[in-house]
């Protein structure tokens, strides 16, 4: 017996093996079709994938499938073995009139139709078509990579975002590629189950076409498909992010071992490194949301953000709030939505928002200074931080605590708020060792304890610059770097904490009861200016 909304649907087939679960998007689209929604707007770049979904849906409901494009006009698509039949012209108004005259229940997809919605005649034709189709079994779908709905159609059209391919779809694609490669003996496939899972995780957020290109690139690179190809797949993500223009793909080359001190923060991160995998989901764990890192300038907040991505083997994206606010009036909100869509599209990923307080300054006066743009951006960002379900780990850093809107500090926006203080003596000793080692010197040949004692009040960045300054001096003298060069560089440096001693003490007092310390070492008193530093 035919379904009530699908006259002529074929009878139910005999019982078969259980089919894989239907993706939520397909279930929702199927519901709208069965409910006889006349107009649906599908937001997606993937025409081929959406075509396959609609073909299956049309067969399931016993409906014809039509497609229109400005280059090929309106045509009836056959089944997987059939041929296309031309049904209408390339003019959008004529095509809409042809759709209205269709005599059989149909699914009609209009490809890249959004530019024509700037034409009042086309808008009127779409609106009249929607009214005419309410008494039929035909559904029209506008397929476009961007959402553009004129006000006249806002109440007429239902919008669905087509999600990026699921893990199941990417795994099926990988299996198909492996089968072709092995049958044709075109390359060597050396993938364990764990290797394949890592490849699939690396490909999450790519379209099926992009993922196929990435796998093909990995095979063409060295004639193999193995665990070492994860980096090449991630490189394809870099292209996706670069084309967005709103996010920067940062190389995750730093290691947590290159970050001196911060033992409590490192311990917190080590316990959450595996929380993005499927075993964590089965255990009942949600993906970590993110961290807010507050502290004194130059103490490793940005370095830590880079090290987290490297430690967890995730891509690192940097969100520049200045880019969000650039552009035409009214585009800032859309810029933020686009940036979020890109980040969620390539998830799992670490999203680094550097000096977030600068981008959100002026929230309180936004209504009078910029027409409320900053306030709306801030509200949208807060909502996303609170409600996001995609595995996007946000690392926000801030220097000026007084400029941070209090709403950002509320529990639920971030998993934890850490305060990164000036490094203690033992931590400064480690930082000296790290930077000497990175510049080809053996740390054991230097008196690190003495250097740590001399550099009281130094931030990690100032320790690094002292080492660099000492190298310049040694190079100018045409001798190798010695202890005396580093000591002199330290003594000639007035640390920022000394210059802004009262400010550092005030920030420390604020953070003492409001944040979690990133280090287990006891905070040292900020030294007062010393006359010998200027001599």
Instruction: Find the CATH number of the domain harbouring 82.
Output: 3.40.50.300
Number of compact structural domains in the chain: 4
Q: Is 153 helix (H, G, I), strand (E, B) or coil?
A: helix
- Give the tokens for residue 516: 């979690």
Residues 453 and 376 in one domain: no
Residues 329 and 236 in one domain: no
Place of tokens 């012209």: 89
Rg (CA), the chain: 29
Residues 280 and 399 in one domain: yes
Query: b vs e for 11-29, b when ≥16 Cβ sit within 10 Å of the residue's Cβ?
Result: eeeeeeeeeeeeeebeeeb
Instruction: Find the CATH number of the domain harbouring 467.
Output: 1.10.8
Last residue of a domain, one of 143, 161, 179: 161
- Please state, in angstroms and as integers, the Cα–Cα distance from residue 418 to each residue in 41, 263, 298, 301, following that order: 43, 12, 15, 10
Q: Is residue 1 part of a domain?
A: no
Q: Is residue 2 part of a domain?
A: no
Residues 225 and 304 in one domain: no
Distance, in Å, from the CA atom of 336 to the CA atom of 342, rounded to the nearest integer, reads 10
- Residue 522 burial by CB count (10 A; 0-12/13-18/19+): exposed, middle or buried? exposed
Residues 254 and 398 in one domain: yes
Instruction: With beta carbons less than 8 A apart as the criterion, state whether 213 and 291 touch.
Output: no
Largest Cα–Cα distance of the chain, in whole Å?
97
Residues 207 and 231 in one domain: yes
* Number of other CB atoms surrounding residue 425 within 10 Å: 14
Structural domain boundaries enclosing 337: 250-420
Q: Is residue 225 part of a domain?
A: yes
Last residue of a domain, one of 137, 161, 185: 161
| Per-10-residue mean pLDDT, the chain, length 535 | 44 50 86 94 91 92 93 80 61 92 93 93 95 92 90 92 84 87 79 82 83 86 81 77 78 76 88 79 85 86 86 84 64 79 82 82 55 78 86 88 79 88 91 92 94 92 94 95 94 88 86 87 74 45
- Residue 280 burial by CB count (10 A; 0-12/13-18/19+): exposed, middle or buried? middle
Strands 316-319, 224-226: parallel, antiparallel or unpaired by DSSP? unpaired
* pTM of this structure: 0.68
Residues 386 and 256 in one domain: yes
Residues 293 and 315 in one domain: yes
Residues 446 and 415 in one domain: no
Instruction: With beta carbons less than 8 A apart as the criterion, state whether 144 and 114 touch.
Output: yes
- Please state, in angstroms and as integers, the Cα–Cα distance from residue 242 to each residue in 46, 293, 344, 403, 432, following that order: 19, 26, 15, 30, 36
Last residue of a domain, one of 420, 441, 471: 420
- Please state, in angstroms and as integers, the Cα–Cα distance from residue 182 to each residue in 170, 232, 291, following that order: 18, 21, 44
Query: What distance lies between CA 58 and its chain's CA centroid?
Result: 34
| Cα 80–Cα 84–Cα 89 angle in degrees, nearest 5 | 145
Q: Is residue 430 part of a domain?
A: yes
Q: Is residue 13 part of a domain?
A: no
Instruction: With beta carbons less than 8 A apart as the criterion, state whether 62 and 6 touch.
Output: yes
């Amino acid at each position: 017996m035919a379904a009530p909304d699908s006259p002529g649907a074929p009878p139910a087939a005999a019982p078969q093996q259980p089919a894989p679960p239907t993706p939520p998007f397909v279930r929702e689209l199927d519901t709208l079709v069965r409910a006889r929604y006349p107009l649906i707007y599908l937001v997606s770049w993937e025409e081929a994938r959406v075509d396959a979904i609609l073909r299956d849906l049309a067969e399931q409901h016993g409906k014809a499938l039509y497609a229109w494009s400005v280059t090929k006009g309106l045509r009836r698509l056959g089944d997987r073995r059939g041929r296309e039949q031309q049904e209408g012209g390339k003019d959008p108004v004529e095509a809409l009139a042809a759709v209205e005259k269709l005599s059989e229940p149909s699914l009609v997809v209009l490809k890249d139709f959004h530019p024509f919605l700037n034409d009042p005649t086309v808008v009127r034709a779409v609106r009249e078509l929607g009214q005419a189709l309410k008494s039929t079994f035909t559904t029209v779908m506008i397929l476009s990579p961007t959402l553009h709905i004129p006000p006249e159609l806002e109440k007429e059209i239902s919008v669905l975002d087509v999600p990026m391919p699921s893990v199941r779809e990417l795994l099926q694609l990988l299996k198909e590629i492996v089968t072709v490669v092995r049958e044709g003996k075109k390359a060597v496939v050396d993938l364990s189950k764990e290797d394949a899972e890592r490849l699939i995780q690396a490909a999450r957020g790519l379209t099926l076409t992009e993922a196929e290109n990435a796998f093909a690139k990995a095979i063409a690179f060295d004639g193999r498909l193995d665990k070492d190809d994860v980096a090449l797949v991630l490189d394809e993500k870099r292209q996706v992010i670069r084309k967005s223009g709103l996010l920067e793909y940062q190389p995750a080359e730093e290691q947590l071992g290159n970050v001196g001190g911060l033992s409590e923060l490192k311990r917190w991160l080590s316990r959450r490194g595996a929380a993005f995998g499927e075993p964590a989901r089965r255990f009942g764990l949600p993906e970590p949301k993110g961290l807010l890192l507050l502290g004194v300038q130059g103490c490793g907040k940005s370095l830590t953000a880079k090290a987290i991505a490297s430690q967890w083997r995730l891509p690192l994206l940097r969100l520049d709030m200045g880019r969000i606010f650039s552009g035409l009036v009214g585009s800032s909100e859309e810029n933020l939505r686009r940036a979020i869509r890109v980040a969620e599209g390539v998830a799992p990923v670490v999203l680094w928002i550097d000096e977030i307080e600068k981008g959100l300054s002026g929230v309180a006066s936004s209504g009078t200074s910029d027409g409320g743009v900053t306030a709306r951006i801030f509200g949208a960002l807060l909502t996303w931080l609170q409600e996001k379900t995609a595995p996007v780990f946000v690392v926000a850093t801030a220097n000026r605590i007084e400029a941070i809107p209090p709403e950002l500090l509320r529990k639920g926006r971030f998993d934890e708020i850490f305060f990164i203080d000036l490094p203690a003596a033992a931590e400064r000793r480690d930082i000296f060792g790290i930077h000497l080692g990175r510049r080809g010197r053996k740390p054991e040949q230097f008196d690190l304890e003495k250097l740590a004692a001399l550099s009281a009040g130094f931030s990690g960045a100032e320790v690094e610059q002292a080492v660099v300054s000492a190298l310049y001096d040694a190079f100018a003298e045409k001798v190798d770097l010695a202890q005396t060069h580093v000591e002199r560089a330290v003594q000639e440096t007035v640390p920022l904490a000394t210059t802004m001693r009262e400010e550092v003490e005030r920030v420390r007092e604020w953070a003492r009861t409001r944040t979690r310390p990133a280090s287990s070492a006891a905070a040292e008193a900020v030294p007062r200016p010393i006359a010998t530093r200027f001599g």
